[in-house]
Amino acid sequence: MSTHPPEKTTAEARTTPQAARPGLSFRRHFTRPGRHPFDEVSWETRSAVINDERGQAVFEQHGIEVPSTWSQTATNIVASKYFRGMLGSPEREGSVRHLISRVVDTITAWADKQGYFATADDLASFSAELTHLLVSQKAAFNSPVWFNVGIEKHPQASACFINSVNDTMESILGLAKTEGMLFKFGSGTGSNLSSIRSSREPLAGGGTASGPVSFMRGYDAFAGVIKSGGKTRRAAKMVILNADHPDIEEFITSKADEEKGGAYDSVFFQNANHSVRVTDEFMQAVVDGKEWQTKYVLTGKTCQTYQAGDLMRLMAEAAWQCGDPGLQFDTTINDWHTCPGTARINASNPCVTGDTLVATSEGWRRIDGLVGRSAEIIGSDGQPHLVDCIFPTGTKQVYRLRTRAGYEVRITADHKVWTIDRGDVPVSDLRMGERLQLVAPGFGRRAVGEQLAMAVGVAVGDGCLVRSAHRYGIQEIVILTMAANEAGVLVSIAGAVNEEKQLRRAVGAVGRPDGVSVRVSQSGSRLAFSSRPDVDLFKEFAVLDEGSHRKRFTPAVFDLDKPSLAALLRGLFTSDGTVANYGEKSQYISLDSSSRELLGQVQILLLGFGVKSKLYDNRRGGITASMLPDGRGGMKSYPVKEMYSLRVSRSWRFVFEREIGFDPSSPKAAALATLNGQISTCRDDLTDAVASIEPVGEQPVYDLTERSTHHFVANGLLVHNCSEYMFLDDTACNLSSLNLMKFRKEDGEFDAEAFKAACRTMITAQEILVDNASYPTPAIDRNSHDYRPLGLGYANLGVLLMDRGLPYDSDAGRAYAAAVTALMHGEAYAQSARVASAMGPFSGYARNEEPMLRVIDKHRQHAHMIDSTLVPKELLREALTVWDEAYALGAQHGYRNSQVTVLAPTGTIGFMMDCDTTGIEPDIALVKYKKLVGGGVMKIVNQSVPGVLRKLGYPAAQVDEIVRAIDEKETIEGAPHLREEHLAIFDCAFPPASGKRSIPYMGHIKMMAAVQPFLSGAISKTVNMPADSTPDDITDAYVESWRLGLKAVAVYRDGCKRSQPLSTSKDEGKTAGAAPAPDARPARRKLPDERRAITHKFSIAGHEGYITVGMYDDGKPGEIFLVMAKEGSTISGLMDAFATSISMSLQYGVPLETLVEKFSHVRFEPSGFTKNPEIPYAKSITDYIFRWLASKFLSAEHQEAVGVHPVQAPSEAPAGGAPTRATAGGPAYRSQADAPSCHYCGSIMTRNGSCYRCSNCGSTSGCS
């Protein structure tokens, strides 16, 4: 599946040459030479069985070899998710030993082949250390590694990908294909769709564009039907839209609109998380109550003006209803960006050559001269915008794009150019004749006297610089020549020069005292300058001494203000231009020269005045010699240079006359005035058509980031700049996580040395994966190899803090988490630098060295800001030391990886490591149910609780009483002897079923803010908010997240979807009273001939039908009729037969409770959302029918048991939602009432970051 170009298909070709590599030394920490890590583990044989909610096995494998310390849950997850081969076949894996060996041996072989390690002993040490970490549950790779490494020749090993999309149908549909292939092999994706034109913008063929939200429906549908890894989990997907996109309002409300009212029968956007990309400018506008403008994608001009606070309110209300959108904070993200020299590269890094002139507020500037500086770049709206990100992008194949009028730019094939009809189009997709936009720059600030500036122009047109020897050295003389009837032009220039001489003498300047004068003869007029200051002025602005075919202006002309530049061009055209009037045939102003470079410069300079001109090549038609007078009265053949002509015609000659013109003393001024007075023309647009695109070889290229309109002007043509993403667009990141509780020493302190050793091993292993994995597109392949981002993270933070007696929501808890995260992040970068010393830094490091070291130092500075009074001195000292080392090693060797850490939700791999909490999350509850090896479950109190109580000073007897109370009541609230100030230590993510306490949402945000400075990427976590939270609370959460420096945030209000009930304690299902025993003898109770009935219309995922229930006089149901709309005779017949059998059952005394219990939650298609708020989601038609019958005819307890949600008036709804009761073995906490059921086994899932995971079978809705 690898898409890397053929010349780099081998991993060795992507790394430093073997001869130049010293190889990496690797020391052991956990293992001993000569003893395999597997021999340190006790093994046993088990069965892995996973049952659905009805107790039926959905997975079963026997005779599995696992470490005896692994839980049954870990056994089930590994066997069902990661063992490869068909069940029952000889190829089926059946041992954790084999699974780990498959992955480790493959990575070790790759490392050996690529020469990663200095010696065979170093290689063996690495392999043993990695094996130890995996088998002891200290670490785990992301799921794609377990799925594919050792199975596929070039496995997909990364869990997350950032994909680009351009504003073309080919690119839009290509994104769907790319995402589908990523989902197939177990990975998630993220895409910013802001480059797609809005639904308010035109299409080339007429009509209006669909906009990104419409295409999101298609992407969502694909994601919904593709299971990641083929069998394990649903696709994980993120879609992003910038806050200044014209369709931002529709995007914000898209998911919420789908999930309310009549939208439930066809709900889109359930397979993706939505985020709005906002800048500091937007957030400040929210805080200050200011306006915010959206910008058209195609033009960058203002589309609509909002109150920023209104948009934020819209986001908060949508999130209140459905949990989306979240926010990504663009300015913060890029402030911590390690590769701004590369910038936020679009799909394949578009760029232009270094000599390209970029339009700025101060005139034209070469792009290579702006690198590392800031400039006010002219955008697509014609206004200047501050740009501080101008950078080289390497050496690439470039093409000369030329228009019919001769404007040209050397540019890469993937760089997008603005077209009048199709918006931004890559150069490779441009059509001949397609019209492009021309845009003018501003002018410089340097003023030169009008006549002196005009003299420079005359010199370039009909002048030269000559040198002669005299006794004092070499004398330089500038000579200007013109026709005899234009001597007045030179007289004016001479007068200005003589005035300058007098001024210089008045202030004591050195120079010749005599003035200059014009010499006039029959053949023409002549003016010469030899004074050094005068000659230097000409040399500053023009090259006059390399022959007529090499005449040109210097870059200094771009610094001239408008009057000075107009005078310079006036002198040039006056001296060497003509006015042509051929009647009806053509009329134009012409400038001829043998220097094409000069005419190209003039063409660009004219554009600044709003004058379009056309450049004609090869006016001599290839003639290289011509008969000319020999000065002796005869003719002689002389070699001649090719001639070029620049012409200003049509309406542009009027603009030329107004803005520049000819000198009034020249006959050409009168000729132009006569021409324009006699022959008028229509006004022309400042556009031009594509004439040719041809390759011109590989050249150094550059790009910039203009964030307001996303466009800049290159040699007069409007082009797109690079895009904006969390990290470089079209890259992949392979993830791994460390189990923090495995690094807790016997005395309860954190083992920093062991933790650092684990970081070194996992970073090295992930780095080796980069070159040996496959990638779905050439762009992802290239960028992943060039920048090599990794994502090391951790799990079990919540339990680690509780074990130390630190409340999750406390300054001490946050400081400790920051220290641990800083230690991981610093050691990861230090190891990356060590690998760079052996293998070389990543390809893009050279042009990003300074900004990357700045970010590394920024991480280091934040480590020194951790409160030393709240963290163990040894742990903090290790964290500070490792950051000093990471910076020093990087400054010496560079870094092998542009990014190294991220906090992922660790869904399935968290189960594999037997983690109680995932990622950065707190513990979910103090009481859990543990699966037993022989089957069944056992309720256990969090094993950290007794030890924490003892640390807090409680005597053994009190500890026992507190633990016993927790076991009985499933909450620590109200436990005997427990002091009030200690309750916060045991707060969890959700309140217990019989309690009230949980971690407030701001506690989650503050924890994220504490560790964010020590992560390369963002934190995958959803901030859980109680059901009674308001949109104002969500707004506060968003604003506070921005102020605290988070890169991204997402919130989820409990119960906002309510697709399914959750059981929260062991006694759910017990009825208030026993149902009366049925008659032992079957007897049919017929309905009266005339009876009451009710008819109910329903819709399940768009499938409509009707239920009619006939009732006895006492109101109990006695028969049902079912009618399905638009169904065939087969379905209708089955429904009739089913309804008849249920009717007979009711009439023969089968309790409705029994039927409801039997047929509720039966799963088959069609399933989906309904229009009934009491039953918002149905697993099948049968499920819906019987839960609806329960809602009409059974008690509240029965309704609750089967998941009917009675609709209450707002005043009657209990604050926070009433807790439901749980089945035996269910969670002992009040979890989210709208959690979905597992698609694999049917059990209720729990929130995990921005997705869900199933504690029964380990399936996830997208977590690693």
Residues noted as catalytic: 349, 351, 724
Torsion sign over Cα 892, 894, 895, 899: positive
How many CB atoms are located within 10 Å of the residue 233 CB?
29
Q: Residue 212 burial (CB < 10 Å; 0-12/13-18/19+)? A: buried
Q: How far apart are CA 815 and CA 795, in angstroms?
A: 17
Amino acid code (one letter) for 420 = I
| Pair 1170, 1183: CB distance under 8 Å | no
Strand 273-278 to 237-242 pairing: parallel
Residue 1250 vs residues 179, 532, 564, 634: alpha-carbon distances, Å:
19, 73, 61, 91
Closest CA to 429 of 705, 781, 690: 690
Residue 462 vs residues 483, 494, 496, 606: alpha-carbon distances, Å:
10, 16, 19, 19
Amino acid code (one letter) for 716 = G
Q: How far apart are CA 581 and CA 1182, in angstroms?
A: 88
Query: Rounded to the nearest 10 degrees, how much is the dihedral formed by the CA atoms of 151, 154, 156, 157?
Result: 80
Q: What tokens does 614 get? A: 């056309």
Closest CA to 798 of 506, 570, 998: 998
Residue 901 vs residues 238, 818, 857, 1248: alpha-carbon distances, Å:
19, 14, 16, 19
How many CB atoms are located within 10 Å of the residue 438 CB?
20
Amino acid code (one letter) for 148 = N
773, HSE (Cβ side, Cα atoms, 13 Å)? 33
In sequence order, what are the beta bridge partners of 736? 141, 792
Q: Residue 627 burial (CB < 10 Å; 0-12/13-18/19+)? A: exposed
Q: Is residue 63 left, alpha or beta, with left meaning phi > 0 and alpha meaning psi from -120 to 50?
A: left
Q: How far apart are CA 252 and CA 240, in angstroms?
A: 10
Does an H or E element contain 591, and which?
A: strand 587-593
Backbone φ, ψ for residue 180 (5° rounding): -60, -40
Q: How far apart are CA 1264 and CA 1246, in angstroms?
A: 15
Closest CA to 183 of 125, 129, 143: 143
Q: How far apart are CA 1243 and CA 1245, in angstroms?
A: 6
Q: What is the 3-state secondary structure (H, E, C) of 609-651?
A: CCCCCEEECCCCCCCCEEEEECCCCCEEEEECCCCEEEEEECC
| Pair 226, 184: CB distance under 8 Å | yes
Residues 6+ apart with CB under 8 A from 513: 501, 505
What is the tally of helices (H) and strands (E) in the chain?
32, 50
DSSP character for 1194?
S
Q: What tokens does 1108 get? A: 């009619």
Q: How far apart are CA 824 and CA 830, in angstroms?
A: 10
Backbone φ, ψ for residue 1203 (5° rounding): 90, 35
Q: How many residues would you count in the chain?
A: 1264
SS3 39: helix
How many CB atoms are located within 10 Å of the residue 1028 CB?
14
How many CB atoms are located within 10 Å of the residue 1026 CB?
17
